[in-house]
Structure 1
Amino acid sequence: MNYSTPTIWLIIVCLALGTFGLRFVFIGLVGDREMPAWLLRHLRYTAVAVMPGLIAPLVLWPAATGGQSDPARLSAAGAALAVGILTKNVIGAIVSGIVTLYAVQYLLT
């Protein structure tokens, strides 16, 4: 696909306006108002809902292996999940995942 220069600039300007508009609605219009308790309760779960969607493709179909699952990434994700659930420590979960990933990669090569 080859786009002309004016078309590219039009796309950039439209995306900039859309991004600004979306952020302005939340920061400029709603930012100084008190949010209802039901909305705050639901917003607490946003990270819990988004993180699996970001992490699962990286574990199940990693680009480093050409989209094929491998035991190193699966075991690292399992170790990080287990440590996170058992200790409730984010840093511990991250470190255990990293150590497991590199240990299993070293053992398999």
Structure 2
Amino acid sequence: MIKEESFIKAWENKRLVCGAIKAAGVRKDYQEYADLVQDGVLIYAGMLEKSQGQNIDRLAFKKILWHTLDELRKVQRREERSEEINNELELNKEKIEWDNLIILKDKVEELNGIEKLVFFEHLL
């Protein structure tokens, strides 16, 4: 558990956290920016707990940077999977339409001459 003092110190040094997030290429208008800042503050506070007075700013910066990059990769993978699923659904939709055309073709062949004439006149 993180002590209040460590959390306050990490919160007061938010510039380090925001700098690491910026180094990862994240702009302030990114929709998950606030969450990344909170994660960074928690990481920094946790490192302050473990450091026992050592200067860990450089290590914390790197750890926050790598955490941010990992989170961005996760988001990218989720979006890619979502796109793959959507593409697969579109392909299946097209396949179903082709299946319907094959069924329709078979049914049209069963029609007599007058029924075919009426059917094709109705399409035009």
User: TM-score over 0.5 for the alignment?
Assistant: no
Q: Greater helix share, 1 or 2? A: 2
TM-score, with normalisation over the residues of structure 1?
0.32
Q: Which has the higher contact order (CA 8 A, sep 6+)?
A: 2
Larger Rg: 2
TM-score, with normalisation over the residues of structure 2?
0.30
